[in-house]
Structure 1
Amino acid sequence: MPGPQASCWAPGTSACTQVASLEEEEDKMGSASAECQVSRAPDLCTSSFLTNNQSHPQMNEFSWKDVTNALALSNMVLGLFSIFCSFCKRCHCASWMLLISFLLDTAVGAITRHLSLCCKSGVELNDFAVFTTFGLASALLLGVDGPLNGFLAIIYVLAATFRLCFYSTGAQLTYKGLPCRYASCLLASTSLLTKGNTFILSCMASLMILFMMDQSYYPHDEILESENWKKLVYLGGIFMLLLSPFSLTAFYCLLWSLSYIFFPDALWGKAACLRLQCPRS
């Protein structure tokens, strides 16, 4: 009996020893994997932090694109309201919509240039808003009661269309042809000051058609990105629109548009000339 018991106890003892050794190895492997996870945790945190930092500029860019698109859409809505007011014989309200669109379009251009935002959908939306507001709505200020006024309104819309489609220039600091918003601002101001006198509006519209179809260069005004006095001119327009009498606001916007139309380089082109003389390195 002692012999078989001894032989049985021996294998049992060796099996227990093997089980204990396996458990120790598993504990070591578990601790090693835990150490690896702890050591890799900073790298994971660092990578996630960098990913978040890289995503923030993209989120900001998309948010600013949404803001500019919303402003361009608001500009188009104002143009549609102006068209509706013109059909309802409310030329006074239609002209005010165009003056608000003039200030809004200036802000949209400044934001787009300052943040270097450019996307195909945004450009198309802004072009369509400019055509609706500063082309079609401005032409309807002339009225379509008679054949001459209707024909002149059609010519004005065609001139604004050609100005937007074909008179593009490769230079970043100049326009080719008078920008449509200045022609619209002049017509709206004239309509407010003359109480919708169709003869005076027809003369002004004919002059604006010639300026828009002209191939001469006009500088980028860059009102909100250049000298302080230009920013004050813009803020003065907002102040006039909100707080001053209607006639004074119309006269202010009329002088503003005329100064750019007849003295583009002398008054509004100084910043452009300086940048051309001192290009960025």
Structure 2
Amino acid sequence: MTVADGKTTGRLPRAVYERELRRLQLELVKLQEWVRSEGARLVVVFEGRDAAGKGSTIKRVTEHLNPRAARIVALPVPTDRERTQWYFQRYVAQLPAAGEIVLFDRSWYNRAGVERVMDFCTEAEYALFLRQCPVFERLLVDDGIMLRKYWFSVSDTVQEQRFRDRLEDPRRRWKLSAMDLESITRWEAYSRAKDEMFRHTDTPESPWHVVESDHKRSARINMISHLLSTVPYHAVPGPDLELPPRPPSTGYRRPPRDRQRHVPDAAAELAE
């Protein structure tokens, strides 16, 4: 459900969410097969606040896709050599070939976000980025790449709660860094940086699409639904496959089990 200002209200019941997610994931499989058969190239950029739900949405998008043709790109900090290159150069190397989908878990927009706020780039480098980015994206679109950009928006209270959850859960502690915690004290600085970024890079050729993500289930459904609606895909008939009959035995005998090392049956201990 939504209200007039676009904010998502309430939570999708899990059964409703899982049913719709399954339907959308089936459509994503069709989309990928269409991309393969048409030799299309699709780039999806995921940006937004820390803990806004980008990673979990990417996971649902790719869960049932062929990983050989649907890649997630999450580049580390640039090397000393990469710092001397044209800023967009290392991202160009990750762009898709024909029949591929690439999802950027953060992208070249690092320069307009964290690098800007944390003073990891100079004023001149930042200004150059804002001038070059629309041109760079126009070149991608002109060359036939389908470029989709999503900004995941989360409120300060929800972000802080998600940080606390990560801090208290050893399984997710790796998701929390000192840089993430800085985003709490620099909330307004990130807001201003995002507004300035949108002002320069929300263009007719490559517009931004905002995903309200205080409720992750709704955010995932909304983002995937929108992505599918923007690509003119259709179902592509697959090859007719049948399981062949198993041939009769030729006398093979499996070696005795006690000659091999088997992992302990921990599951059996739980069942007792």
Q: What's the TM-score, normalizing by structure 1?
A: 0.21
Q: Which has the higher contact order (CA 8 A, sep 6+)?
A: 2
State the TM-score, normalizing by the size of structure 2: 0.21
Which is richer in helix? 1
Higher strand content, 1 or 2: 2
The higher radius of gyration belongs to: 1
